[in-house]
Structure 1
Amino acid sequence: MTQVTHGGRPRTRRPAPYAVLLVPAMLLTGGLAACSGDVTSTQAPLPSPSAPAGGTTGPSATEEPRDDLAALDPGDAAALSTPQADPVYPAYGDPSVDALHYDLDLTWDADERTLTGIETVLLRVTSDADVVDHGRVRLDLAPTMAVTGAAVDDVEVEVEHRGDDLLVPLPAGTAPDDLVTVTLAYTGTPTPVDAPTTRSDLPSLGLTVDPEGQLWTMQEPYGAHTWYAVNDHPSDKARYTFTLQVDDPWTGIANGVQTSSSVADGVRTTTYDAADPMASYLVTLAFGDYTETVVDGPRDLPISLWVPAGAEQYVDDLERTGAALTWVEGWLGPYPFDSAGVLLVEDSTSGMETQTLLTLGATAYSTSPATLVHEMVHQWWGDLVTPADWRGLWMNEGMAMYLQLVWEAEDDGRPLDDLLGDYVLTEQRLRAEAGPPASYDPDQFGVSNVYLGPALMWHAIRQEVGDAAFRDAVRAWPTEQAGRSVGRDELVSWWSERTGTELASLFDAWLDGEQSPAIDLD
């Protein structure tokens, strides 16, 4: 076991390293936009952006057809998506743009409660480009984040910030599948938004500031837009790189592999690379007084446990993460990412399957083995393969809940059918209150109707196709769909073909029925 410690509260605000000092210069030049829902326009100088590999630069009009995708960096090419409009939460996401790579350079001032960012995002204009708003694409960005400078392909532009919508002009002549690199400078105090749910553990979404000035986020189904400009929808996966700066001894933490950590002039800078395509709701971020404990996972995979000062009592619980992951691998195969870890946050009682780095509230249940199993299952079912829109939340939660209950039955030495029987009446009540799993009430996001009904459905499918075919399909589905966002029809068709059993009617009954189907539990 290895421990790396970053302790104590930041003492006084110090100047950031030279590269970050470019941002205040832009603020002075461009002015500070109002933190309100009013329409604001911003045009201000920016430093020359360092475009992610595959980005384009040059004149605003193109005289000859381009073939940007042919030269796209393989890492960014893996993030090519088919963005969709959402039928449940249509205010977020724009199908006319496909984000491939977000590079986020963020500085947190805990005393002033101010986040300052330079964001560079590589975008592919999709085949729907002819319907964009007057030659503009839309990114989601909360009005509390004031844009102070913008450029497209190294050319300064004026953007319009209209509520949660940031409208970015495209170069003249932009055609479907052209790539553009958007660079934004922005600043503001992160403010979470109300969550569309009745769940008591999820009152708000997005970047949250605790009383000590520490930051953390949980942002499903939308909430990433509270701290960076984003196509905030699960159908658009992207690669992420992070540069995080905060006064030492605090530290910044994000998804992916930590590629560097250094201190200069009293400021700690950490960098992370999340190389595998990731949906925006699966991104996590924290700044604070954290200690990292590294434990071994399966096949000597290092698992980083990030625990804030004052919550050290949870370290022993979290050290069981390796055992939980080993059990899950028995069902789903080798862990699919390059890094693994847990980020503990004190002001939450919830838990989130943020990709490569679980975000868990500091409670006995959130850090329990059952929760660790559940959230680790999501690394395959939800993260590696993701629903194409929010009607598909059941795809994530049903399998994670089912395998959690399989683990609980084994751990308790209890027959699985007996344990599942405890939930039948509860599932029927929740279906009546919040709707069928695939057409739930949009104001009751993430209520247990999307957990229990689909969990029982998977057990019914296991009974229908047999144990061997079921386990084969459970393991093969996320592996074969790795990096994708997938809809219900494709999943149902794949499962029917893989198992050699027509399953459409069974899926339909469980996912759409006003009444719960009967299930045979011995």
Structure 2
Amino acid sequence: MRVTWRRVRVGAGLLVTGALALSGCDSAAPKAAAPSPGASPTPSRTFTAGAAGVGDSYFPSYGNGGYDVARYTVKVRYDPEQDTVTGTTTVQATATADLSTFNLDLAGLTVRTVTVDGNPATHTREKNELVIKPAVGLIAGNGFVAEIVYEGVPKPLKNEALGEGGFLHTPDGAIALGQPESASTWFPVNDHPSDKAAYDFEITVPDGLTAVSNGVPGGKASKGGWTTWKWSEKSPMASYLSTVVIGRFRVTTATHRGRPVYSAVAIAASGSADSSIAETVKVADYLETVFGPYPFDSYGGVVVTDNRISYALETQSRPVYSAGFFRQGVNTGVVAHELAHQWFGDSVALTRWEDIWLNEGFATYAEWLWDEHALGSTAKQTFDTRYGRASAQVWKTPPGKPGAKELFSESVYQRGAMTLHALRVAVGDKAFFEIVKTWAAEKRNSNATTAEFVALAERVCGKQLDALFDAWLYGTRKPAPPKRL
């Protein structure tokens, strides 16, 4: 995010039910052999409820435990006149514990039916938790499929520290967007970045409206006054990076290096929005030279004009931008920031929200690198300016552990980027860019922590870096200017 201030991966396979066919005769199956003397009987399983949260220290209720999602198939119909959603979401997952019940996050909407592996399941609601009890317990290591049918008037979620996020009704449609949570306002989900999954979306809207989402466009089909738009993101994606934007847009399509490029700019957007978004592939090509191969199968961007959205967000493969970024002319800096997130934040995602600097510090430093490439102002010059002008609050707030209320503070962005430049000075350009590319390659499509980044940096450069990271990420005083180790 940039604020205005500035699987199925089926584990052991799906459980299959049905009659046992006896080969060659109709007689009963033979009796099981008696256990040998002294043999221990097979222990019975104990099924327990899945956790209603993944245990994130900043947001304990986010996400759920006991399973790992491989794919979501989200089919929703949105009626803007009534501001209502009707949907069916299929969750393909693997149990990681023996489960008697499991939870999905779902805010506000009414659930009509739930099935698990095709069998009716009971369900209850506990605030924003959907608690599902399958007909039989789910065995650890086995895959399962849950299907949830639901409807209602979607509403955004309010976070006391971070504001509003989720499904927003607009004059010509809707926008589903927000960080650190938003997905649970329009489909049932394990709403924490530690459980990434592939996604298929089918968004049905009245004819004449466009519905833009993540990944590769799968075409559209119209029937009876409604149009269904299909999108598919096969690379694992954190739930908060999912989006749908419905409305009237100027749409441009192209192909770049064999990948589709799909961008949509709200009809009401003025200024340089179209020309700025048109620079997407140019910026992405430059970032490949410093970060390694672009990690996804599509490119693009969406520009919206809703006053409630005064930021840009790195929604996977297709960032969403406030039109306000482009009122003063072409702005490729914000494009560089959100595209850098495709590597750092999207492909390499957080394990816990405490490590948000791994997203925002990298994306901010990418802006500095892009400015050096496109405008001639060096990253060192930008560092010197930020280092000299940073407020006292920046130095008091450690970006490596900012606290939930400071998740998107200036320290996370600017001091996070300064941390990377301090590392670059300490180890030299060759080692630094090897660290960055190795991090993106080794952690591609997975989750990561700060401790893992520090360990990788030390491995690549062959130097002990605890003092550097302690000062820049965790200290509450202004560090000394960086020096070569």
Q: Same fold (TM over 0.5)?
A: yes
1:192–1:208 Cα contact (<8 Å) kept: yes
Equivalent in the alignment of 2:119: 155
- For normalisation by structure 1, the TM-score amounts to 0.79
Cα distance in structure 1, aligned partners of 2:323 and 2:465: 40
Larger RCO (CA within 8 A; separation ≥ 6)? 1
* Residue 174 of structure 1: how far off its partner (Å): 2.2
* Residue 173 of structure 1: how far off its partner (Å): 4.0
Equivalent in the alignment of 1:351: 312
Q: How does 1:282-293 map to 2 (within 5 A)?
A: 282-293=241-252
Q: How does 1:329-368 map to 2 (within 5 A)?
A: 329-347=288-306, 348-365=309-326, 368=331
Equivalent in the alignment of 2:57: 87
- 1:120 partner letter: T
Residue 309 of structure 1, aligned match among 267, 285, 301: 267
Cα distance in structure 2, aligned partners of 1:365 and 1:307: 11
* Residue 168 of structure 1: how far off its partner (Å): 1.0
* Residue 357 of structure 1: how far off its partner (Å): 0.7
* Residue 59 of structure 1: how far off its partner (Å): 4.8
Deviations 1:47-75 (A, max 9, x none): xxxx9584735459xx9x9xxxxxxxxxx
Cα distance in structure 2, aligned partners of 1:415 and 1:286: 36
- 1:381 partner letter: F
Uncovered stretches (5+) of structure 2, i.e. residues with no partner: 1-6, 19-31, 33-41, 43-52
Equivalent in the alignment of 2:371: 408
* Residue 265 of structure 1: how far off its partner (Å): 1.8
SS at match of 1:275: strand
2:425–2:483 Cα contact (<8 Å) kept: no
**How has the CA–CA distance of structure 1 residues 498 and 241 changed in structure 2, closer, same or farther, with 3 Å as cutoff?**
same
* Residue 190 of structure 1: how far off its partner (Å): 1.5
Cα distance in structure 2, aligned partners of 1:160 and 1:411: 55
Equivalent in the alignment of 1:430: 393
Equivalent in the alignment of 1:394: 357
**How has the CA–CA distance of structure 1 residues 353 and 286 changed in structure 2, closer, same or farther, with 3 Å as cutoff?**
same
Cα distance in structure 1, aligned partners of 2:351 and 2:199: 19
Cα distance in structure 2, aligned partners of 1:418 and 1:520: 14
**How has the CA–CA distance of structure 1 residues 416 and 52 changed in structure 2, closer, same or farther, with 3 Å as cutoff?**
closer
Q: How does 1:38-187 map to 2 (within 5 A)?
A: 54=10, 56-59=14-17, 84-127=54-97, 129=98, 135-142=100-107, 144-187=108-151
Equivalent in the alignment of 1:458: 420
Cα distance in structure 2, aligned partners of 1:301 and 1:444: 37
Equivalent in the alignment of 1:218: 177
Equivalent in the alignment of 2:401: 439
- 2:158 partner letter: D
Residue 509 of structure 1, aligned match among 471, 474, 479: 471
SS at match of 2:424: helix
Higher alpha-carbon deviation: 329-338 or 375-384:
329-338
**How has the CA–CA distance of structure 1 residues 510 and 316 changed in structure 2, closer, same or farther, with 3 Å as cutoff?**
same
Report percent identity of matched pairs.
29
Cα distance in structure 1, aligned partners of 2:389 and 2:84: 44
2:101–2:133 Cα contact (<8 Å) kept: yes
1:98–1:123 Cα contact (<8 Å) kept: yes
1:104–1:242 Cα contact (<8 Å) kept: yes
Equivalent in the alignment of 2:334: 371
SS at match of 1:151: strand
Cα distance in structure 1, aligned partners of 2:94 and 2:245: 29
SS at match of 2:336: helix
Equivalent in the alignment of 2:410: 448
1:305–1:341 Cα contact (<8 Å) kept: yes
Equivalent in the alignment of 1:71: none
Structure 1 residue runs of 4+, over 6 Å off? none
2:281–2:299 Cα contact (<8 Å) kept: no
1:52–1:103 Cα contact (<8 Å) kept: no
2:102–2:131 Cα contact (<8 Å) kept: yes
Uncovered stretches (5+) of structure 1, i.e. residues with no partner: 1-50, 66-82
Cα distance in structure 2, aligned partners of 1:416 and 1:485: 28
Deviations 1:419-466 (A, max 9, x none): 212212554523356x31122131232122111111111111111111
Q: Cα RMSD (Å) of the superposition?
A: 2.5
SS at match of 1:92: coil
SS at match of 1:476: helix
2:9–2:70 Cα contact (<8 Å) kept: no
Equivalent in the alignment of 2:23: none
Residue 249 of structure 1, aligned match among 193, 201, 208: 208
* Residue 105 of structure 1: how far off its partner (Å): 0.5
Cα distance in structure 1, aligned partners of 2:198 and 2:183: 15
* Residue 139 of structure 1: how far off its partner (Å): 1.1
Equivalent in the alignment of 1:382: 345
- 2:350 partner letter: P
Deviations 1:227-254 (A, max 9, x none): 1111111110001001111110112211
- 2:85 partner letter: L
Q: Number of aligned residue pairs: give it.
A: 440
Higher alpha-carbon deviation: 510-519 or 373-382:
510-519
Higher alpha-carbon deviation: 166-175 or 257-266:
166-175
Equivalent in the alignment of 2:194: 235
Cα distance in structure 2, aligned partners of 1:154 and 1:316: 49
1:196–1:445 Cα contact (<8 Å) kept: no
Cα distance in structure 2, aligned partners of 1:426 and 1:393: 23
Deviations 1:373-396 (A, max 9, x none): 111111111111111010110101
Deviations 1:126-157 (A, max 9, x none): 14x4xx6xx21111110x21111111111111
Equivalent in the alignment of 1:469: 431
Larger Rg: 2
* Residue 95 of structure 1: how far off its partner (Å): 2.5
